[in-house]
Amino acid sequence: MTMRPPAEAGDSLQDVDTPALVVDLDSLERNLDRMARAVADTGARLRPHAKSHKCPEIALKQIAAGAIGVCCQKVSEAEAMAEGGIDNILVSNEVVGRPKLDRLAALSRKAWIAVCADDAGNVDALEAAAGRADTVLNVLVEIDVGAGRCGVPPGEPAVVLARRIAGHSRLRFGGLQAYHGRAQHIRAHDERRRAVEGAAELTRQTVALLAEGGLECGIVGGAGTGTYAFEAMSGVYNELQPGSYIFMDGDYGRNLGADGAPFDEFEQSLFVYATVMSRPAPDRALVDAGLKAFAVDSGLPAVHGFADVECVGASDEHGLLAITGAGDGFGVGDKVRLVPGHCDPTVNLYDWLVGVRRGAVECLWPVTARGAVL
Amino acid sequence: MTMRPPAEAGDSLQDVDTPALVVDLDSLERNLDRMARAVADTGARLRPHAKSHKCPEIALKQIAAGAIGVCCQKVSEAEAMAEGGIDNILVSNEVVGRPKLDRLAALSRKAWIAVCADDAGNVDALEAAAGRADTVLNVLVEIDVGAGRCGVPPGEPAVVLARRIAGHSRLRFGGLQAYHGRAQHIRAHDERRRAVEGAAELTRQTVALLAEGGLECGIVGGAGTGTYAFEAMSGVYNELQPGSYIFMDGDYGRNLGADGAPFDEFEQSLFVYATVMSRPAPDRALVDAGLKAFAVDSGLPAVHGFADVECVGASDEHGLLAITGAGDGFGVGDKVRLVPGHCDPTVNLYDWLVGVRRGAVECLWPVTARGAVL
């Protein structure tokens, strides 16, 4: 059930079969370097999120550039990363249910594994799974610092849960997970900064309260591509978990920097390469990429390099382009690059990442954790 | 890169690991029977669309129930179906680019294959590919009967393209593809009917014009789950291509029948099975299924069987449920069934379909054409 690769190393970009997930390697490498340098100055550690790329080759590049390991969101994703040679993995999420807990515990015998919890019963289930596997699990308490998703409230409830973890013989209290997901796509720079300052203050108070109780936070983790600089400056977060920065997407492209201009610290390196399959009218073209080739939760893709061509609709296998200009380059068989609205769920649709440098295919990377929902 | 199955035959539904794509086999079989019986009375042939299920096991059941073959939307999807034993396939879409054309031509040596075209250059490319493979391809002219997607205008332009096909030595003119995609989800029954009556009239005129020129339409194809009864009644369509009827989804569930009540001819058989992974507040629960576990292009999923629980948000790996009632059954570890908004791109996220009957897992079907975008 793995699809054939859409290209071979040495092919020209023009020869890549479509739709295909294409990554510009020069841009990817510059993004890797920029993040590594930006974080190196802060004293915080970089633990990029592998849910964005699901690709051990990229995780290894991140580690080579200074990251201490990766985050995963699912046990099956962590298994794919461990198989790919990553030996330091934080599952930045709750893991529920015996099959997954047993797999997580088994994995902790092969790699350094930490996991998050926000529920007393789940903590006890983690202890039981660690016992069955004769292992030890590092457990972070997730606190809700404004995302309105998982997590116990900051402060005393976090201390209560941390004590429960520390009181178990097979569990080690590993610190706090304090990710402010909602803040990532607040468009205005100062508003985004204030949201993270609020999260950091709640986190700081919780860290202090835990320390009073003798519970040290090895990891204080959070941050994404939209806010990582603020968490890094906070002095309380010591691990940063951005994922999208390697690829970027339409949604992050709509964030604004300090100067009010579009956030451009990282380059768009990820594209859905598509072919014009029909040109029924001068003002309309159809490409062979639709809802199974890009995620639309953050809007339709942009057509790269064409200000007068807009993707205005998508069905299962078609993308509908509205052409207001001359429309050159949109004949049947012409190929175009689309910028997906949201990189993570788009990458998850593909078995292969086609690495391209200056118009030639350099590598094919398997998206090993594609479909790793368990 | 194929994910492990989330269950084994004989497991109880409760033991299925999540998120998982679960199909109620009793409902699926009733849907298969209902469509087969509804079409049998009309004289039209049933050629269900495999883009919905991407699963040869289900295609074989459709054929056993009277379908003459399947539609596919992609060459790689057609290859998966042919490998799974389906020998009569209409690619109800344009195929562009030499790699795909050569694969299509190669496939036509193993199964009866037809394909659509709406462009003279593409017709010539089909001829060339058929020549390279020393085979013959059946080619339908796609006409735009209101969908605003691919297709030449009905009438004379269709005749011109059909003549071009018929004039090639390796191509056979196979008829018309006249699918009205936009009509499928028009909510009001009479409005839906009128849209298809308009499409049928344009199709009828084109068939007549072709006949005047000595070009007979072996296939006049179109129709989906929302409108198939109207095309069947038209007297001009002779092949019906519904796909979603086997599963149904939230979007089709919002269509209305002739009596103004929700369209309920087919049963919801497809669910995303999910686990409550966090219950941070009485009015909020998180499930372990998000943007990588269901498509949201037609809205967020519904929570099956709970009128007072609503899915109000989704991020990559989380679904956010708002609970207005007592919230029993939404503790950490409890499992729920979600009804996806759109079945086709949801199925495309999974490697396995878990077939369940009366609470027990009966079979695991591979979604063989998952990710078949090429």
**Tokens coding B364:** 């695991």
pLDDT at A2 over 90: no
3-state class of A372 per DSSP?
coil
Per the CB < 8 A criterion, the answer to whether A128 and A163 are in contact is no
Decide which of A195, A222, A248 is a domain's last residue: A248
Question: Domain check: are A103 and A198 in the same one?
Answer: yes
Distance between CA A142 and CA A175 in Å, rounded?
9
**Of the partner residues B51, B314, B351, the one whose CB lies closest to the CB of residue A1:** B351
CA distance A150 to chain B (A): 6
Round to whole Å and give the CA distance between B64 and B52. 18
Cβ–Cβ contact B291 with A under 8 A: yes
Q: Which residues of B touch A277 (CB under 8 A)?
A: 93-96, 150
- Could A291 and B149 be called an inter-chain contact, meaning their C-beta atoms sit closer than 8 Å? no
Q: Are A70 and A368 in contact (CB under 8 A)?
A: no
Asked if residue B337 and residue B234 are part of one domain, the reply reads: no
State whether A188 and A276 are in the same domain: no
Q: Does the pLDDT at position B158 exceed 70? A: yes
Q: Is residue A142 part of a domain?
A: yes
Contact B18 A374 (CB under 8 A): yes
Q: For residue B253, is it within any domain?
A: no
Report the run of H or E that residue B25 belongs to, with start and end. helix B25-40
Paired strand residues for A309: A323
Same domain, B62 and B191: yes
Q: DSSP for B216-259?
A: --SEEEE--TTTHHHHHHHSS--EE---GGGT--HHHHT-B-TT
Give the rounded distance of the alpha carbon of A196 from its chain centre.
18
B292 and B233, same structural domain? no
Taking residue B251's Cβ as centre, other Cβ atoms within 10 Å add up to 18
The C-alpha atoms of residue B330 and residue A96 are separated, in whole angstroms, by 13
**Cα angle: A135, vertex A139, A142; to 5 degrees:** 160
* Same structural domain, B169 and B286: no
Contacts of residue B3 in chain A, CB cutoff 8 Å?
76, 371-374
**Paired tokens of A275:** 């072919």
Asked whether residue B28 is assigned to any structural domain, the reply reads no
Label the pairing between strands A270-281 and A20-24. Answer: antiparallel
Interface ipTM: 0.97
Give per-residue pLDDT as tens, B67-86: 999 999 999 999 999 999 99
Q: Which of residues 66-85 of B touch A (CB under 8 A)?
A: 73-74, 76
Burial class (CB in 10 A: 0-12, 13-18, 19+), B60: middle
Angle between helices B120-132 and B98-107 (to 10 degrees): 50
Residue A146 is assigned to a structural domain of this protein: yes
Q: Which domain holds residue A359?
A: 13-21+264-366
Considering the domain architecture, whether residues A239 and A147 belong to the same structural domain is answered as yes
Task: Residue window 236-265, chain A: list those with CB within 8 Å of chain B.
Answer: none
Q: Which two tokens stand for residue A115?
A: 């996991």
Nearest to A368 among B1, B93, B275 (CB): B1
Identify the sign of the CA torsion B280, B286, B291, B295. Answer: negative
A237 and A277 share one domain? no
- Tell me which of A278, A311, A315 to substitute to probe the interface with B (most B C-beta atoms closer than 10 Å): A278
Site of tokens 């080759």? A57
For residues A186-194, average pLDDT: 96
Angle separating helix axes A25-40 and A56-64, nearest 10 degrees: 40
Report the distance separating Cα B7 and Cα B18, nearest Å.
9
pLDDT number for residue B1:
58
Assess if residue B240 is contained within a domain: yes
| pLDDT for A295 beyond 90 | yes
Cis peptide before B282 (omega within 30 of 0): no
Token code pair at residue A10: 């040495």
The answer to whether A120 contacts chain B (CB < 8 Å) is no
CA atoms within 13 A on the CB side of A366: 12
The string of DSSP letters for B309-352 reads EEEEEEETTEEEEEE-S--TT-STT-EEEEE-S-HHHHHTT-SE
Structure tokens belonging to residue A247? 């690829």
Closest CB from B1, B19, B95 relative to A366: B1
Q: pLDDT, tens digit, for every residue of B207-247?
A: 999 999 999 999 999 999 999 999 999 999 999 999 999 99
Residues A82 and A193 in one domain: yes
For chain A, how many structural domains are there in total?
2
Tell me if A47 is assigned to some domain: yes
**Pair (B72, B195) in one structural domain:** yes
Radius of gyration in angstroms for the set of CA atoms belonging to chain A, rounded to a whole number: 22
Q: How many CA atoms lie within 13 A of B43 on its CB side?
A: 7
User: Does the residue B259 lie in any domain?
Assistant: no
Q: What is the mean pLDDT of residues A34-55?
A: 96
The CATH number of whichever domain residue A329 belongs to comes to 2.40.37.20
Interface of A with B in 296-335 (CB under 8 A): 296-297, 314-318, 320, 332-333
- Domain of A154, CATH number, reads 3.20.20.10
In contact, A248 and A208? CB cutoff 8 Å: no
What pLDDT, on a 0 to 100 scale, did the predictor assign at position B3? 87
Q: What is the pLDDT of residues B164-173, one digit of tens each?
A: 999 999 999 9
Co-location of B337 and B244 in the same domain: no
Do A232 and A278 have their domain in common? no
What is the DSSP secondary-structure string of A165-182? HHTSSSEEEEEEE---GG
Task: Note the pLDDT tens digit of each residue in B20-69.
Answer: 999 999 999 999 999 999 999 898 999 999 999 999 999 999 999 999 99
Give residue A176's pLDDT.
98
